[in-house]
Amino acid sequence: MPYDLKEIAAISGMPGLYRLVRPTRAGVIVESLDERAARSVASARNKVSLLQEISIYTQDYDQTVPLTEAFDRVYQKYGTELPVNSKSDDRDLVAFMEETIPDYDRQRVYMSDIKKLVTWYKAVSSNLEYQAADNDSQVSDNEPDIESTQQDIPAADEALSTAGIISAEEESSAPVNPEAATKEAVSSTSKGAKK
C-alpha cells in the first residue's frame, strides 16, 4: 500500500481531510491533515468516510479502483507534483483522469469527484510518506514462487482431496446418514428439555 489511508478520513460538514486520533463518547477526536494539525471532535452525527474504503467507478460495473490504488497510479506517473489542481480547467482535469485511470466511468464519476481526487491526493502526498513496496517480500506475477509451487503439487501417492487424507484404517464400512445423526441429537435434546 503506497499511502497508509486506514486512519485518514473525509468528514461531512468539515472541510479537508483528517487523521483519526481516538474515539470519544460524543464522536471521535480528529487532527486536520495540514500544516496546523489542529485537533477537534467530529460528532456522531457527522458522516466519517475512511479514504481506504472509497473507490472510483470504472466502465465495468463489477469493478472499481480503490482510492489507494488510484493514489499509487498518480504517484507512479507524477510523483508529488501534479500538473493540475482543483481550480484547473475541466478539460485538463478530464485529461489528468484519463491518463491516471483510463477506464473510469464518465457517467458516474463527476467533475466534483475528480477535483476531490486531486485535492485529497495533494493533502495526502504532502503530509504522509509514500511507502514503496518491498521487492523481496512480493513475488511478481510473471515469476511464481517456486517453493510454494512445489509444496502445492501433491506427490504421486498423495490423495487429491481438499477434505484431507483418510487412511483406510480410519474409514468405516458402516453407511453414514447425516440426517439420522441430526434426528437422534434433536430427540435426545427434546427429551432432556421435558424433564
Residue with cell 517453493: 147
The architecture CATH gives domain 8-51: Roll (2.30)
Q: 126: pLDDT confidence band, cut at 50, 70 and 90?
A: confident
Round to whole Å and give the CA distance between 174 and 21.
61
| Ranges of each domain in the chain | 8-51, 55-127
> In CATH, which of 1.10.10.1650, 2.120.10.30, 1.10.730.10, 3.30.160.250 is domain 55-127?
1.10.10.1650
Question: What would the pLDDT profile of 147-163 be if each residue is shown by its tens digit?
Answer: 444 444 444 444 444 44
Round to whole Å and give the CA distance between 184 and 87.
73
The packing angle between helices 90-100 and 111-127, to 10°, is 70
End-to-end CA distance of the chain, in Å?
A: 60
Distance of CA 12 to the CA centre of its chain: 21
Distance of CA 72 to the CA centre of its chain: 13
In the chain, DSSP finds a helix count (H) and a strand count (E) of 5, 7
- Mark residue 16 as left, alpha or beta (left: phi above 0; alpha: psi -120 to 50; beta: remaining): left
Mean pLDDT (the chain, rounded): 76
Do 97 and 150 contact (CB within 8 A), yes or no? no
H helices of 145-177, in order, are 146-152
Average pLDDT (108-118) is 94
Do 25 and 13 contact (CB within 8 A), yes or no? no
The model scores a pTM over 0.75: no
pLDDT value for 175 = 55
C-alpha cell at 153: 503439487
pLDDT surpasses 60 at 98: yes
| CB neighbours of residue 130 within 10 Å | 14
pLDDT value for 129 = 77
Round to whole Å and give the CA distance between 8 and 25.
20
Average pLDDT (48-62) is 91
